[in-house]
Amino acid sequence: MDEDLVKMLKYLRLNGLLANWDEHIKAAQKGNYSNVRLLKYIVQQEYNHKRENSRKMRLKRAKVEEEFVIETFPFHRQPKLNKKKVLSIYDSFDYMEKKQNIIWLGSTGVGKTGLANSFLIQAINRDYTGRAVLFPELVEMLYRARGDHSEENIIRKFASYDCLHIDELGYVEMEPVQTGQFFTLMHKRYKKTTTLISSNLGFSEWNSFFKNSQLTAALIDRLLENSHVINMKNCTSLRAKPLQS
């Protein structure tokens, strides 16, 4: 490849084309492409390259600590989990297209986070923006933002994600202002985006940390209005080694 062509490709930021130029030419020669077909092939390859880079960047920004996929979830170790329901929601993709919430309830170690992250990753892979965040981290972030007057920006940021996974909801001592901040965030996401929530506590226990019965009831009411609840309360921990047969 001559230097002028390299310079132009760099200027146009056609990095995929630049990196794979020789392979594209070989493929075209081997396939005996016409001029039109060659151009279409090159454009398609560059398009695929940019989309893949964009997907990787969205996944990186989502800060998913454990990148689980639904295909590897050990359903055989959770016979009390409604596998058919979970896969139906996942395969239909209605949770994103219809902006539905999904709430996983169950004890520690049963796979709530892994399942929620697999739904989040699917959304990201299909061109949606997303983010995973621990509930204690989120409320602390909102509280600190109040001190430096960036509260509105933080709320706007988390409200804008197409799919937000809030993990480990509960088990944190909340100030009244934090409850209000969280409610404001969820209000802004209401019917506009998809929120995935995983919690060790049932709905009846949420007021123990929100400490505001009216806001708690309003939050649960809005979350359940357009949502799926995956009950994993009777599931066993996946962290224990399975018994040898």
pLDDT at 193: 97
Same domain, residue pair 39 and 74: no
Structural domain total, the chain = 2
DSSP reduced 3-state for 53? helix
Q: What CATH code is carried by the domain that includes residue 172?
A: 3.40.50.300
pLDDT at 242: 53
Q: Domain span at residue 226? A: 70-232
pTM of the predicted model, to two decimals? Answer: 0.86
26 backbone dihedrals φ, ψ, rounded to 5°: -65, -40
Which two tokens mark 117? 């992250």
Contact indicator for 29, 15 with CB cutoff of 8 Å: no
Same domain, residue pair 227 and 128: yes
Same domain, residue pair 211 and 167: yes
pLDDT at 240: 66
Q: Specify the DSSP class assigned to residue 80.
A: T
Same domain, residue pair 162 and 87: yes
pLDDT at 107: 94
Q: Is 4 exposed, middle or buried (0-12, 13-18, 19+ CB in 10 A)?
A: exposed
User: Which residue positions in the chain have pLDDT lower than 50?
Assistant: 243, 245
pLDDT at 245: 41
DSSP reduced 3-state for 225? helix
Same domain, residue pair 12 and 33: yes
213 backbone dihedrals φ, ψ, rounded to 5°: -60, -40
Same domain, residue pair 117 and 190: yes
Same domain, residue pair 166 and 215: yes
Same domain, residue pair 95 and 22: no
Same domain, residue pair 15 and 132: no
Same domain, residue pair 132 and 167: yes
In a domain? residue 119: yes
**DSSP string covering 19-50, please?**
HTHHHHHHHHHHHT--HHHHHHHHHHHHHHHH
| d(C-alpha 183, C-alpha 186), whole Å | 5
pLDDT digits (tens, 9 = 90+) for 105-151: 999 999 999 999 999 999 999 999 999 999 999 999 999 999 899 99
In a domain? residue 242: no
In a domain? residue 245: no
Helices (H), 1-126: 3-11, 15-19, 21-31, 35-62, 83-92, 94-97, 112-125
DSSP reduced 3-state for 229? strand
